[in-house]
Amino acid sequence: MDIALLVGIVLGLVFMIGSIFIAIAQGGAGSFGSFISGPSFGIVFGGMIASVFVSFPLPHVIGLGAAIGAVMKPADDKMGHLVDSACDISESARKGAAELEKSVDGIKNYFFKDGVQMVVDGYSLEEVTEIMETRIEYREKREKVQSDMMKSMGNLAPAWGMIGTLIGLVLMLAGFGGEGSGADSLGAGMAAALITTFYGAVFANLFFLPMSDKLSLKSVQTSMAAALLVEAARLIHQKKHPIIVREKLNSFIPPKEWKRGD
């Protein structure tokens, strides 16, 4: 799991719940049970999911679990090992087509493996570049749909929280003036009505909007790594010396990850 994601969610919940308990302990009215409401949760979460079904095609909604799984995967923005792999493959390419073909099976990155396989199969430099860049383009589009879906859920949650609050106010005011409708019951009803707004804000600002931002960032990092591998495949196609390959690919990574060729 992404440690930063876990730490962020836990910290948010700890500070929020802890602050509630402190406020109650300092003489605030009510109890922690006042913040727990099954109907409010159902209105916000159920309404949010229903809106997502309306907004996005069914296959994308079904793939929501995969999007959440992508967010939870550990972040890995280091690309030095990709440069090392490209240099090893370029050394094989200089020894001949047979050596290059043997090295393909040892490539762990499937995107790079396909690119090198195209070089082995005799694709032109332009064809290798065009195919790999097209794959990057459409992967970015697919991941943007996932990010947009998360962002939409973050925007919808407060809206459904407001809808729940309005429902609570209608029910509260409908009974106003009847038997047992004093100030105490009015205050309790108002508190219950506001819980849905609270749930909507928490869903939006602790979960879905930050998760959308993280998914977008991971997509950018993946595209940076893919761009490096496209250039690596091009250099291998051109049979560049491993030292030149390393120096060119070092441009894609931070200086602290640089290694110098022998």
pLDDT tens profile 64-92: 888 888 888 877 778 889 999 999 999 99
Q: Which residues contact 183 (CB under 8 A, 6 or more apart)?
A: none
pLDDT > 70 fraction of the chain, expressed in percent and rounded: 92
pLDDT > 90 fraction of the chain, expressed in percent and rounded: 63
**pLDDT at residue 182 above 60?**
no
Q: Place 150 in a pLDDT band, splitting at 50, 70 and 90.
A: very high
**pLDDT at residue 229 above 90?**
yes
Q: Quote the pLDDT of residue 171.
A: 80
Q: Note the pTM of the prediction, 2 decimals.
A: 0.82
Which whole number is the average pLDDT over 40-56? 93
- The residue with tokens 């799991």 is 1
N-to-C CA span, the chain: 37
Q: Are 165 and 194 in contact (CB under 8 A)?
A: yes
Report angle CA 209, 211, 214 to the nearest 5 degrees.
115
Average of per-residue pLDDT values in the chain: 88
Q: Quote the pLDDT of residue 14.
A: 95
Containing 6, the helix (H) or strand (E) segment is: helix 3-25
Rounded to whole angstroms, the Cα distance separating 88 from 252 reads 17
Q: Are 196 and 160 in contact (CB under 8 A)?
A: yes
**pLDDT at residue 261 above 60?**
no
